[in-house]
Each structure stands twice: as C-alpha cells, then as structure tokens.
Structure 1
Amino acid sequence: MYNDFVMWLIAVWGFIMIGLLAIGGFFMFRKFLKALPREDGWSELDWQEYYIEQALPLWNAEARKLLDELVSPVPQIFRGVAKQKIAGRISKIALDEKVSTIHLDQIIKGYIIATPKRDHGFMKKKLKELNIDYSPYEHLFELADDEKQKFSIFEQTEALKKVE
C-alpha cells in the first residue's frame, strides 16, 4: 500500500517536472529566437537596446513614470521584458519623429504598437484608468505586435508613416 502511494507520488512529481521544464524551455526558446541576428546582422534585442540608448536623453522623469505605470498590470516576472520592449519602440518613434523630449504622443504610439494584440483589452482598460484618450490612435491597433505574424516591432516605421 505504502509502495503504491510512493510510486504514484513519484509519477505525479515526474509529470509536473516535465511540464515545468517544457514551459521554461518554451520561453527560453522564444528569447533565443529574438537574440538571433537578422539580415542586417543585428537581433531584435540589439535594435531594442540601440534605440533606447540613442533616445536616453529624450526620456524625462514624467515619461519614465508613465511607462512604469503603463506596464504595472504585467506580472512582475515579465514586467522588465515588457518595459524594455515598449521603451525600445517608444524610443524608435521619438527618434523617427525627431522630438526633443518624449511626450504622451510617442508613449501611446509605442505602447500600442509594442503590446501584443492579445493584451489590447488590458491595455485599453489601463489607459481608461489613467484617463488617457486613445481614440486618436485607433488606427495603430492594426500595427500592433502580432505573435502569429512574427515580425519585428521595429519594422512598422513605414506603415506608421503611411497611416499618419
């Protein structure tokens, strides 16, 4: 009787461990794919870091505080990655628009485009909580990050210019 219980316990523990390893492996593989260089020799993460570094002087305390507030609904374990991705996109938009300081306009554009389509409901809810009108940016929801298409969030610059 006791041996049967221990065998079942080991079997259940084995299935749980295999499941957790599979989940962890999935996320590690996604990160690996983003770190692979593209045709230009730079990976998605390299471009992200480049744009953030270039636009660092454009970020003021108010913009950083708003970015922190916008990513607050993201679970703590993923918040840093989400913040980095959104900040990279905001920085690219600010550099393309040649602004002297990052304002609400660039933050909302980058936030919408860098947020995966599956999270738009949460994003709209957060914007409403902050009393931010996103209706002028409705057209940008089509350019948002789509996990199924697997394109870079930095490839929408031409599309963004056409829409505006």
Structure 2
Amino acid sequence: MSVIVDYLIIIWGFIMIGLMAIGGFFMFRKFLKRLPKEDGKSIMDWEEYYVNKTKNMWKEEEKELLDELVSPVPELFRDVAKHKIASKVGEVALMKDKTTITQDVLIEGYIIATPKRDHKFLRKKLAQKNIDTKPYEEFFQLSRDDYEQDWKRKHQK
C-alpha cells in the first residue's frame, strides 16, 4: 500500500512541476512583452496605444465581425486575442489614415495579427459571409512567421 502512495506522490510532484513550468512560461512571455524596445515602449504599450487611439473608429458591424472571427479561440484566451487583433487593426487603420475601421481594414489587420494556421478558419468564415478573399491573397501568402517582424515594410509593397 505504501508503494502505491509513494508512486502517487511522485506522479503528483511531476504534475505540479509541469504545471508550474507551463505557468512560468506564459508569465515569462508576458514579462518579455512588457520590456521596453528601442523606442522606449513595450509591445503591450503599443497595443494599448492603438486600441485607445482607434476605439471611437469602430462601427458596430465591425465589432460583431471581430467577435465572430475570434470565436474559435478558447474563451480563456479570447479577450487577449481580440485585444491583440484590434490593436493591429487600429495600427493598419492609422497607417492608412482611415477615419473609421472598415471591413477591409479589419480583415487586413486580422491576417497580419494572426498566424497562418488561423487563416483557414478566416477563409471559411469569409466564404460563409460571401466576402471575396481575392483582394487579401497577398496577405494570406505571407505567413506571420515572415510578416510579423517587418510587416510595415512588406505591407507597403
């Protein structure tokens, strides 16, 4: 009986170490996003800036479309994903000197903000809404791996 208890304690120890490592990994990633870059602002500072700067530019239709597009994200992470995507959409809108967030700007920003694996769902959702994806093919072709680092220069090509 004590051998079984010993094994359970060992297994429980590994589970706890594993869970702590996973939590530590996510905390460390958040810490790295808070570190200031060359311009003195962190990634999260810029995200907050773009969301706040463009919050009055969103129409109800675009807010609903964004909610629909982030629906496959697990609910625990949905707010974070929505915030990141909304900040990238806002950045694109400001870069293009838009006064409102349009469907085109929303889709461009969504593509830029998300990894390539999420684009399959986006294509499916856009097809359901009868939105043509041809104008966005150049953005789909550039995966986030290639696009995220120097996206502004590549976006302007």
Report the TM-score when normalising by structure 2: 0.90
**Which structure 2 residues correspond to residues 27-46 of structure 1 after superposition, within 5 A?**
27-46=26-45
* Correspondences of 1:60-139 after superposition (within 5 Å): 60-139=59-138
**Superposition CA RMSD, Å:** 1.8
The reply to whether residue 159 of structure 1 matches residue 135 of structure 2 is: no
| Alpha-carbon separation, structure 2, partners of 1:15 and 1:126 | 41
The residue number in structure 1 matching 2:20 is 21
The residue that corresponds to 1:48 in the other structure is: 47
Partner of 1:7: 6
CA contact (8 A) 2:112 2:148 kept: no
Amino acid at match of 1:104: Q
Is 1:86–1:114's contact at 8 Å kept on the other side of the alignment? yes
The count of residues paired between Structure 1 and Structure 2 equals 157
Q: Deviations over 1:94-143 (max 9, x none)?
A: 11111221111000000000001233233333333333322211111244
Give the whole-Å Cα distance in 2 for the aligned partners of 1:158 and 1:33: 24
Distance in 1 (alpha carbons) for counterparts of 2:32 and 2:147 = 10
Equivalent residues of 2:70, 2:81 under 8 A apart: yes
SS of match in other structure, 1:40: coil
Q: Label 1:63 to 1:142 Cα distance change in 2 as closer, same or farther (>3 A).
A: same
- Note the alpha carbon deviations across 1:64-96, whole angstroms, 9 max, x for none: 111111101001111111101100010011111
The 3-state SS of whatever aligns with 2:144 is coil
Counterpart of 1:48 in structure 2: which amino acid? E
Give distance in 2, aligned partners of 1:157 and 1:111: 14
Secondary structure of the structure 2 residue equivalent to 1:107: helix
Mapped partners of 1:27, 1:39: distance in 2: 23
Structure 2: unaligned runs, 5 residues or longer:
none
1:42 aligns to what SS in structure 2?
coil
Name the CA distance, whole Å, in 2 between partners of 1:32 and 1:84: 17
Gaps of 5+ in 1: none
Q: Is the 8 A contact 1:143 1:156 kept in 2?
A: no
Distance 1:27 1:129, change over 3 A: farther
